Each structure stands twice: as C-alpha cells, then as structure tokens.
Amino acid sequence: MNSNIKNRDEIEDIYKWNTANLYKDSEEAAKDMQFIRELLEKFHGLSGKLSNKETILEALLLQDTLDQLMEKCYTYAHMKLDEDNANTASLALFDQVKSLFVTYSEMTSYFIPELMKIDYTLLEEYSKAEDFQDYRHFIKEIGRNKEHILSDPEEKILSSFSELTGAPKSIFQILNNADLKFGHLKNENNESVELTHGRYHGMLQSQNREVRKNAYNQLYGVYKSFRNTIAQTLINSVKKDCLLARLRKHNSALEASVFADNVDLSVYNNLINSVRKNISLLHRYVEFRRQVMKLPELQMYDLYVPLVSELNKAYTYQEAAKLMLDGLAPLGEKYLQDLKGGLDNGWVDVYENKGKTSGAYSTGTYGYHPYILLNFNHTINDVFTLAHEAGHAMHTFYSHNNQPYRNASYTIFVAEVASTLNENLLINHLLAKSTDNKEKLYLLNYNLEQFRTTVFRQTMFAEFEKIIHQKIEEGISLTPDSLCEIYYELNKFYYQGVQLDDEISMEWSRIPHFYNAFYVYKYATGFSAAVALSNGILKEGQEKLEKYLAFLSSGGKDYPIELLKYAGVDMGTPQPVDDCLKSFGESLDLATKLL
C-alpha cells in the first residue's frame, strides 16, 4: 500500500479510461451542447402539433437524436468530474450540462402529456406500422404510465425543479468525495498513511486488529462530526422521494420506485421476508467467524478480514484481469474476446488518485463503448469488483449492439444479474481448481462474504430505506438520533452475535446508494437470479448459455421480470431468494467441515 495518493497526472495513461473516444476536450463537448439547444428549439416547435402519425414519428426520431447527444454530454462531463472532484474546470462543465438538462427537461416536457391526450387505441394502431417498430415498447409504457403523468403545465413545473431535487445527492457527493478528510494512521508496517475511501476497506481486511479498529473508529469519528449536516441531506432526499411519488399519484415512494420497473411490490417485501425468515443462517456465520478468529467476541470491524491469512495475497491489475477472464470462460470465446478487447482499449480507469470518486461503477452512452471506474487496491475484493463491473459493461456492450436506441437501456433490476453472475462464475472457477483445504476455506469465506454483503447487508439497507420513507409518509419526523436508532436496531437483529458499538449507528451516513431510493434491493434480487443462472450455465452448458447471452443482448425490450423469465428465472416468487439462501447455508456447512 503506497503511503501517498497520486495526483491524476501521475497515473500512467494505460491505467486511465479514454474519454477522447467521446470528446477530445470540453470545447468539443460544448459544440454538441450548442447543437442540442438548436434541436431543442425544433423539438419544442412540434408542441401542439402531435395530431397525426407522421408528426409523432418525426418527434420520436428527433427526441432519439436529442437524447443520445444529451446522454453523451452528460456521460463525458460526469466522467471528467469523477476523475477529480476538485477540478474546477470539470465541475464547471458538469454544472453546464446539468443546467442544459434542466432546459432540455423544460422544452421536452410537453411531449408525454400531449401523447397522453391522444386516444391510446390510436397510438396502439400506429405502433403496428413498420416504421414504429422501435417504439412499440415505448408506446406500451405510455398506456401503463398514463395515470401517473401530469398535465403539460404541471410537468413543465416539475422539470424546472429537477436540478433542485437532485441537490441532496450532489451535496452529499461533493462532501463525501472532496471535502471529508479522514486523517492519517499507521498501517501494518507501522507507516503513516492517509485514510481514504479506497483504503478503508483494505484496512478492514488487515490481519492486524489494531489497524482494523483504528481505521473503523477514525472513519466513523469523522462522519459523526458531520452527523447533523448529513442527516439533513438524507432526510431532504427522502422527503423529495415521497413528494414526487405523491405528486405522481402513487401510494408510496416504494410503490413509485418498483412501478418504474413494472415490478410488483411483493418482490421487495418477499426479499425482506425471506431474509428475515432465514436470518439464523447469518447468525451461524457470525459465530463461525468468531470461532475461526479465536476471539472472545466479534466486533463490526472484524467482519471483513479474510479468515486464512496465508492466502491474503496482493494482485497486480494484469493478474486480476487474467484471473477474471479465466473464471469467465464458461461464457464462451466471443464474450472473452470482446471483454479483453475492451480492457486493452481504454474502457477502464484503474487506480485511485486525489479527488477521484470512490467506489466503482460502469457507465456508457449509446453508440460508444462502455467505461469502468475502479479504485483498484490489489486485493481479491478488487478482482471481484473488476468482474462485477465487467458484467455491467458487457451487458451494455451487447444491448447497445443488438437493440435500437429506444430499447437499448436496461433497468438496474436486471443489470445486477449480469454483474453478480460474473462474480459467481469466478468464485466457482477458483474453488474448482483449488486442491488445498486452506485455500478452499479462504475462497469459501470470500463467497460467504459475497452472500453476506450482497444479500443480507443490502436487504438490511432496503429495510432501512423502507422504514425511513414510511415514517415521512406517516408524518413522523426524522432526526439524526432517530436515523441512528433505526439503523442500530436493524444491525441488532441482523448481526446477533456481534458486539455492537455507537459507531455502527452512523453507517447510514456514508452510504451513497441511499440517495437513489430503493436501489439496493436489486443487488440482493439480482444476486439471487445470478446464482440460478450461473448454476444453470455450469450444469447444463450451451443451451443455458445461449439463453443468457440472448438476455444480455435484450436491453430493455421488455420488462425485467419477463426478461428473466425468458432466461429461466421467475423473480415473481420467493423461490430464487430462498434457493440462494439455501446455497449460502450449504457453503457455510462446507466451510465448517474444512476446519
């Protein structure tokens, strides 16, 4: 672990994504922004004229062009800002794009309400024509959303507030990524290093308990000192969610969120119910970990350290990429060739640098290759993160290459299937080739940690989100104290057997996903679906693989539950989650026998 974080210009170009594939610089992006303004005037000129099939088609085609350009500008601007959140030029460009998006929203807001005024049976009839074939699912969505679209003036008012409704998220991002400083502390080698988001998880994996404890306490000490500010930011984000849901005539913010994917509310509730019903499995795992670590009691900072210290080795980025590609061999030669081509040609931004956005993600815009942001820190977790984000990237790559623009974007609900399936295949590969019991125990524990953090932990997050939104909807005020109390009580239920502390009650304050309401449950449902699909590919081979690759290429041409049914998994029932938790229990049994 290096003691100092490098500046952006100190990172070798081969480890940076190639944003020049989008725009060579901000001046070139500005030209497209001006072109967008011109197209917006033309599009706005069609307001009040959507009276026939030809004009509607003209508007749809023009909107496609506008949306693609808008997405390209936004993708470029947010990637440049994510490279260094302290770069004022990048911040200015991103602000310009956000402002343009407000203008875009205002000038296009008439379109859906005006379509809503047209007899839906007539729109259905138009959609049967060959030149409307790319818009059939879109028109179907018009009918499904009709009761939740407001009048033209009301939609315009809401659009004008879009920048303000995004304020809680943007404020938290700047605070979390640019302003919060966590100080320095001693690492395993007694060297003073700066504590950052990227290093925190690595320190929690340290075999030195003092390093883990100090990193944990120091990080949460900083968040605790900002508890009132961050609480108000999150509370206002929750209020915004509830207000928008109410304005759009949904019964709750949760209902509004699942409606967007055409997912029944029971899917969300079934997840929480299944995990709660099987929570004894997590309690068994906690006790297993305590026994292996030979600790009188387990602390929260003891949950991430690998149980087999001899195998806690570091990986170069090149080693991680090769290991991932070997693990993904069951997905076929074409998948591997396409992915390797991307890794070698500017898809990935690898290492942490000063001001860089923490965590990892994949992004992309239609007509261009996808991108992956990492903060690679040489651990096995980083290898799996690469595989995870590669799953997103390849889903984007195949969807964009096989679907028209209108159907190319997939929902987060199915996106998490592609990413976690890659992780499942990789862990199966590593376990299958291992002949050493200690190595198997190490890998099994890593696998168990994936279950814990992706199914149990994300479900706990989902339950937290549900509770705090319900309280606002019931007229109950949220405070910093109540947020901490709710979060502490959930940890008390989920992590029975762990010695809880005041610090864990502040964990909600550092979770960026809470600013995308009801997002995290899709990690758990996606993981459950991925377990089923990966097991199918490994056990049944080519037929299951072809269905899965067809799923990756399907984008958003149908609703996520239907797309998964075509691939062979019915998430409308509790079965996939129950089966996933059963697999967790089986892995825990095997790990116990290896001791």
How high is the pLDDT of residue 407? 96
Helix (H, G, I), strand (E, B) or coil at 354: coil
Same fold, 8-165 and 167-311+418-595: no
Mean pLDDT across 144-153: 86
How high is the pLDDT of residue 413? 86
Q: What residues does 363 pair with on adjacent strands? A: 371
Q: What would the CATH number be for the domain defined by 167-311+418-595?
A: 1.10.1370.20
The pLDDT tens digits of the residues spanning 51-66 come to 899 999 999 999 999 9
Q: Which residues of 72-83 are buried (b: 16+ CB within 10 A; e: fewer)?
A: bbbbbbbbbbbb
The pLDDT tens digits of the residues spanning 280-310 come to 999 999 999 999 999 999 999 999 988 886 5
Q: Where are the beta strands (DSSP E) in 264-328?
A: 298-299
CB contact set of 248 (below 8 Å; sequence gap of 6+): 148, 149, 150, 256
CB contact set of 556 (below 8 Å; sequence gap of 6+): 137, 399, 403, 407, 408, 409, 410, 411
Q: Which residues are catalytic, by number?
A: 389
* CB 584 within 8 Å of CB 448: yes
What residue has token string 């640019």?
Answer: 178
How high is the pLDDT of residue 196? 93
Q: How many CB atoms lie within 10 A of CB 294?
A: 6
Mean pLDDT across 523-546: 91
Between CA 280 and CA 143 the distance in angstroms is 44
- The dihedrals phi and psi of 373, each to the nearest 5 degrees, come to -100, 130
311 — pLDDT class (breaks 50, 70, 90):
low
Mean pLDDT across 192-207: 91
Mean pLDDT across 202-229: 95
Share of the chain above pLDDT 70, in %: 99
How high is the pLDDT of residue 3? 52
What is the average pLDDT score of the chain? 94
Between CA 526 and CA 141 the distance in angstroms is 23
How high is the pLDDT of residue 347? 98
Measuring CA to CA, which residue among 274, 262, 311, 567 is closest to residue 421?
567
Helix (H, G, I), strand (E, B) or coil at 189: coil
Q: What residues does 371 pair with on adjacent strands? A: 363
Share of the chain above pLDDT 90, in %: 83
Measuring CA to CA, which residue among 163, 134, 333 is closest to residue 240?
163
- The dihedrals phi and psi of 118, each to the nearest 5 degrees, come to -80, 140
Between CA 462 and CA 454 the distance in angstroms is 11
1 — pLDDT class (breaks 50, 70, 90):
very low
Helix (H, G, I), strand (E, B) or coil at 371: strand
Q: At what angle do helices 575-594 and 521-540 cross, to 10 degrees?
A: 70
DSSP secondary structure of 222-246: HHHHTHHHHHHHHHHHHHHHHHHHH
Q: What would the CATH number be for the domain defined by 8-165?
A: 1.20.140.70
Tell me the CA distances in angstroms from 534 to 300, 419, 435, 482, one per residue in order.
31, 11, 22, 41
Over 50: is that where the pLDDT of 2 sits? Answer: no
Over 80: is that where the pLDDT of 312 sits? Answer: no
Between CA 343 and CA 350 the distance in angstroms is 10
Q: How many CB atoms lie within 10 A of CB 425?
A: 23
Between CA 285 and CA 419 the distance in angstroms is 25
Mean pLDDT across 422-440: 89
How high is the pLDDT of residue 505? 97
* CB 113 within 8 Å of CB 151: yes
* CB 105 within 8 Å of CB 159: yes
Q: Could you state, in order of their start, the residue ranges of all structural domains in the chain?
A: 8-165, 167-311+418-595
Mean pLDDT across 152-179: 90
Return the structure tokens found at 214: 């100090």
Mean pLDDT across 450-474: 97
The pLDDT tens digits of the residues spanning 320-370 come to 999 999 999 999 999 999 999 999 999 999 999 999 998 999 999 999 999
